Amino acid sequence: MIRALSGEFSVTMCTLDLEDCDKVLRVECLQMEEHQVISFVRDLGYQCAVLD
């Protein structure tokens, strides 16, 4: 997933915490909106939502 995100967006930092019960994905990028990442990840077949 990280490789796919990096290929689609100009990602400056991306991590996936598999030890967290929510499997938290953190993405930093200067030129993308949250909804773009959510749509992209969902298109890959995963659930995705913004955590508060």
Rounded to whole angstroms, the Cα distance separating 29 from 15 reads 12
The pLDDT tens digits of the residues spanning 31-43 come to 888 999 999 999 9
On whether the CB atoms of residues 38 and 11 are closer than 8 A, the answer is: no
Residues 26 and 15: beta-carbon distance below 8 Å = yes
Q: Which of 9, 12, 14 is nearest to 27 (CA)?
A: 14
pLDDT digits over 3-31, tens only? Answer: 999 888 889 999 999 999 989 999 998 88
